[in-house]
Amino acid sequence: MGRQKLLVSVVDRAEARAALKGGADIIDVKNPVEGSLGASFPWVIKKIAALMPPGRELSTTLGDAPYLPGTYSLAAAGAAWCGVHYVKVGLYGMATIGEAVYFLRQVKTAVQLAAGEEVKIIAVGYADAHRFGAVLPQDIPLVAAKAGVHGCMLDTAVKDGTSLLQLMPAEHLTEFVRETSAYQLLSGLAGSLKMQDLPAIRELAPDVVGVRSAACRGDRVKGRVDERKVRGLRKALSPDHTTSVPRVLP
């Protein structure tokens, strides 16, 4: 089993610095006020990009997207300009596999136009997709493969404290990770995950594990990412991890 990367979602430079010092591998810039994958502002992303030390990666979100391929293609081009490694987009308003594939292909084309092949697209599906008629989580690996994007992730749209592990049985999550790997795509799991969930998530062996609430003192919207909490999450995810955390520039 390889070492899973820890993705911590942040809202500003101070939170990014705390997450980096705590050992986060990927800093994910979002705006939780605007939803599960709420998009941040270009100037905020650029400021955080300037903070990133070598060896860490930066991602940003485009939002819980309705089926507006043109609008989100333009947003994706802007996100790629901000200096990120990954652009995540939630397939919230896509009711069919065909819609989701078409949407992602347009987003990918826009990102390539703005930044070439260096910026990767991550398709995000929802474990609670049945609540609002989106593409089902078990179809997300196929969607990502057909669209030719870099990877796919599962999250939760409704943030009521119900975690990914409560919404989907372990065997379904195992199949998601297995199928994603079979397509040679990056796999990620997120969705109101708590500290106590991480050993079970680690056994599922996704490439990336994403958190926000568990890294905060307070809730996901008004709370603040805390260095000690991030460090604890890193240890819980990889109990045998002993590599020192790279120094973060002041």
CA 239 – CA 237 distance, rounded (Å): 6
Active site residue 47: no
Q: What is the pLDDT of residues 86-115, one digit of tens each?
A: 999 999 999 999 999 999 999 999 999 999
Q: What is the pLDDT of residues 1-49, one digit of tens each?
A: 568 999 999 999 999 999 999 999 999 999 999 999 999 999 999 999 9
Determine, yes or no, domain membership for 99. Answer: yes
**Banded pLDDT at 239 (limits 50, 70, 90):** low
Whole-angstrom CA distances from 76 to 107, 119, 143, 144 are: 6, 10, 18, 16
Q: Which of 88, 108, 120, 159 is catalytic?
A: 88
Active site residue 88: yes
Determine, yes or no, domain membership for 250. Answer: no
**Contact between 225 and 199 (Cβ < 8 Å):** no
Determine, yes or no, domain membership for 246. Answer: no
Q: What is the pLDDT of residues 162-193, one digit of tens each?
A: 999 999 999 999 999 999 999 999 999 999 99
Four-residue CA torsion sign, 56, 224, 82, 250: negative
Output the pLDDT for position 85: 97
Four-residue CA torsion sign, 131, 74, 220, 164: positive
The amino acid at residue 64 is D
Q: What is the pLDDT of residues 112-141, one digit of tens each?
A: 999 999 999 999 999 999 999 999 999 999
CA 160 – CA 165 distance, rounded (Å): 14
Count up the domains in the chain and report the number.
1
Determine, yes or no, domain membership for 76. Answer: yes
Determine, yes or no, domain membership for 59. Answer: yes
Determine, yes or no, domain membership for 184. Answer: yes
Determine, yes or no, domain membership for 54. Answer: yes
CATH code of the domain in which 83 resides: 3.20.20.70
Residue 133's domain spans which residues?
Answer: 5-237
CA 138 – CA 125 distance, rounded (Å): 9
Determine, yes or no, domain membership for 172. Answer: yes
Q: What is the pLDDT of residues 140-153, one digit of tens each?
A: 999 999 999 999 99
